[in-house]
Amino acid sequence: IDRLWEGLTSFRYSLFRLETLQQYSGSSEDEALMEWRRTGTVPLTEELRQWCERIQRRVNDGRRVQRVHVVREPLSDYMRFELASYEPNVNAGEDVRIIPTSAGTWPTDVPPGSDFWLIDGRQLWSMQYAGDGEWLGAEQVTDAQQIVDACAIRDAALAQSVSWRDYWQR
């Protein structure tokens, strides 16, 4: 995990995140979800504030930070929360993008269950989750072909996505 965190905070050119799960769970996110359900506002935790400051510094230095989330419509309560929680990231300069899908459809060339970080197009970290979306850990992938494949998946996801702002404001 320390090596993943080092890559996420010290990348030189680009940082890309692909999310395809329809629900992620964990203690800090569960608390934020409960707060959002109570107040309609996603709490800006200290961890999120620090992350957004890092994003803003990197973007201001000319680096690219991108994320694509494949979302199934109609949106679940959880997914509305998840999408609302991207606003601070977008305001910090992260290019968050959405691929909306409906039941029985899935975006071309974006394998279901793919969930990864791609750092500078060369360092790939596969995110591991339990069936309920609980994070189990991250595994660095060093196979060159899998890294090339992840770059192609990234490109396909970006090509099929719309900006978070366009999606969220519709």
pLDDT above 70: residue 27: no
Give the per-residue pLDDT at 100: 98
pLDDT above 90: residue 29: no
Model confidence, pTM: 0.95
Mean pLDDT, residues 17-29: 87
Calpha distance 6→153 (Å, rounded): 23
Read off the tokens for 84. 């609302």
Give the per-residue pLDDT at 31: 85
Query: Could you read off the pLDDT of 125-155 as tens digits, one per residue?
Result: 999 999 888 899 999 999 999 999 999 999 9
Average pLDDT for the chain:
95
Q: How many CB atoms lie within 10 A of CB 149?
A: 16
The model's confidence at residue 117, banded by pLDDT at 50, 70 and 90, is: very high
Q: Are the CB atoms for 170 and 126 separated by under 8 Å?
A: no
34 against 99, higher pLDDT: 99
Mean pLDDT, residues 68-94: 96
- Domain extents for the chain? 1-169
Give the per-residue pLDDT at 166: 98
> Which residues, at least 6 apart from 67, have a Cβ–Cβ distance to it below 8 Å?
16, 17, 18, 19, 86, 89, 94, 95, 96, 97
At the top level of CATH, the class of 1-169 is alpha beta
